[in-house]
């Protein structure tokens, strides 16, 4: 009998690869619904653009590589990459942002490395970092929570802003992003980081209308929705518990220590856990079976290091959210982690 060796992802679930990818996409639905509720239906437009672009990019590269198109496309990995990227960018970002990012993720990060199982980096996060570094204005212009908008935005307004950067009710994108207090909105993480750099306390920064008692309005519920989806993935054994638990526990621990030592300049654990892409990163991004660690001890180390890096970059780095950077840095360390955390070979060290 010939032994066939295959590349990652290796998964012991009884579901096939396509079913696994579709299950992860389905688990994103609670978070997507929460994003639409608080930030508008521009999220759906970005999703459609990303899915179409990912399908065309994947099909083109497979044709160039003379590989069968449908078997690879139907495994759902390109669609999952598109979903993760689309829900990570601002809902009203210009259409070309998500198109450039999706093409880069599929063509450069995935297919040029050899396709699924050979990519060193998480494609969605590599594309996100490319967009953030290349187009910082567009990538940091987040829509305020719908209840704080100076004027409501319907689906047609949002589609017009995405494709043309103006609509009938708003002359430009900046006008659409203006809140009831007459200022454009930053994310809660960015607001707190900027306030601390101006010698304000965290409590003073969180006195704005965009904050609840624990985190940013909208962002808290979006994170809780992705937590629900993540628990579903754990329940169905699509992912292992090691990475999300290690990441969230480390982030909570570090932020608690920082808050105890310097409460004026460091936010507490709940703020960090319920802000930015924390839950999305812990359950849907860091657990990528291709670019993440594959041993149980390695997963704990990998997840803990991501949590530590997220805390350090959020507090001392140049970007308010840090999940993408932390994941990519640890992607590079995965071969080393796996090398030193391989389980003991059965019978090794037994008495002779």
Quick check: 110 pLDDT over 70? yes
Confidence (pLDDT) at 195: 87
Section 153-168 average pLDDT: 81
* Domain end (from 139, 161, 185): 185
11 in any annotated domain: no
Other C-beta atoms closer than 10 Å to the C-beta of 158 total 23
Residue 69 sits in the same domain as residue 156: yes
Residue 71 sits in the same domain as residue 192: no
Mean of all residue pLDDT scores within the chain: 88
135 in any annotated domain: yes
Alpha-carbon gap, residue 156 to 231, rounded angstroms: 34
Confidence (pLDDT) at 140: 86
Nearest to 319 by CA among 86, 101, 143, 136: 136
Residue 215 sits in the same domain as residue 170: no
- In the chain, alpha helices (H): 17-27, 29-39, 42-64, 69-73, 77-86, 95-103, 123-134, 136-139, 155-164, 173-176, 188-197, 202-205, 219-235, 242-261, 269-273, 278-280, 296-316, 323-340
Residue 85 sits in the same domain as residue 219: no
Confidence (pLDDT) at 351: 47
Confidence (pLDDT) at 14: 45
Residue 211 sits in the same domain as residue 282: yes
9 in any annotated domain: no
pLDDT band per the 50, 70, 90 thresholds, residue 328 = very high
346 in any annotated domain: no
Nearest to 326 by CA among 285, 266, 274: 285
Residue 250 sits in the same domain as residue 262: yes
Section 290-313 average pLDDT: 96
Residue 49's alpha-carbon distances to 43, 57, 99, 244, 318, in angstroms, are 10, 12, 7, 29, 29
Q: Which residues span the domain enclosing 302?
A: 186-340
Number of domains in the chain: 2
Grouping H, G, I as helix, E, B as strand and the rest as coil, residue 187 is coil
pLDDT digits (tens, 9 = 90+) for 175-234: 666 655 545 567 889 889 888 888 899 988 888 778 887 888 889 999 999 999 999 999
Task: Write down the number of H helices and E strands in the chain.
Answer: 18, 0
**Percentage of the chain exceeding pLDDT 90:** 60
81 in any annotated domain: yes
Structure tokens at 227: 């937590």
Alpha-carbon gap, residue 118 to 9, rounded angstroms: 9
Residue 137 sits in the same domain as residue 203: no
Residue 26 sits in the same domain as residue 149: yes
Half-sphere exposure of 290 (CA within 13 A, CB side): 21
Alpha-carbon gap, residue 9 to 164, rounded angstroms: 40
pLDDT band per the 50, 70, 90 thresholds, residue 113 = confident
């Amino acid at each position: 009998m010939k032994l066939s060796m295959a590349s990652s992802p290796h998964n012991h679930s009884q579901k096939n690869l396509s079913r696994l990818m579709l299950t992860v996409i389905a688990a994103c639905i609670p978070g997507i619904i929460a994003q639409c509720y608080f930030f508008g239906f521009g999220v759906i437009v970005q999703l459609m653009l990303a899915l179409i672009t990912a399908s065309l990019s994947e099909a083109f590269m497979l044709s160039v590589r003379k590989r069968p198109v449908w078997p690879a496309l139907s495994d759902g990995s390109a669609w999952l990459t598109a979903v993760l990227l689309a829900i990570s960018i601002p809902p009203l970002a210009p259409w070309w942002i998500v198109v450039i990012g999706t093409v880069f993720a599929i063509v450069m990060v995935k297919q040029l490395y050899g396709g699924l199982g050979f990519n060193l980096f998480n494609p969605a996060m590599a594309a996100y970092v490319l967009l953030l570094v290349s187009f910082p204005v567009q990538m940091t212009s987040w829509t305020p929570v719908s209840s704080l908008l100076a004027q409501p935005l319907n689906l047609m307004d949002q589609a017009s802003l995405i494709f043309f950067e103006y609509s009938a009710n708003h002359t430009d994108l900046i006008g659409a992003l203006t809140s009831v207090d007459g200022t454009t909105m930053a994310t809660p993480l960015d607001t707190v980081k900027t306030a601390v750099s101006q010698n304000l306390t965290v409590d003073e920064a969180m006195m704005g209308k965009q904050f609840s008692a624990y985190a940013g309005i909208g962002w808290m519920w979006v994170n809780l929705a992705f937590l629900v989806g993540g628990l579903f993935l754990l329940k169905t054994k699509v992912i292992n518990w090691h990475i999300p638990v290690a990441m969230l526990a480390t982030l909570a621990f570090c932020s608690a220590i920082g808050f105890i030592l310097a409460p004026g300049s460091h936010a507490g654990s709940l703020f960090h856990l319920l802000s930015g892409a924390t839950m999305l990163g812990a359950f849907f991004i860091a657990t990528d079976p291709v670019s993440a660690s594959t041993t149980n001890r390695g997963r704990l180390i990998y997840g803990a290091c991501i949590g530590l890096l997220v805390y350090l970059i959020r507090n001392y780095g140049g970007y308010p959210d840090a999940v993408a950077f932390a994941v990519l840095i640890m992607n590079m360390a995965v071969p080393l982690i796996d090398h030193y955390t391989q389980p003991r070979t059965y019978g090794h060290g037994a008495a002779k």
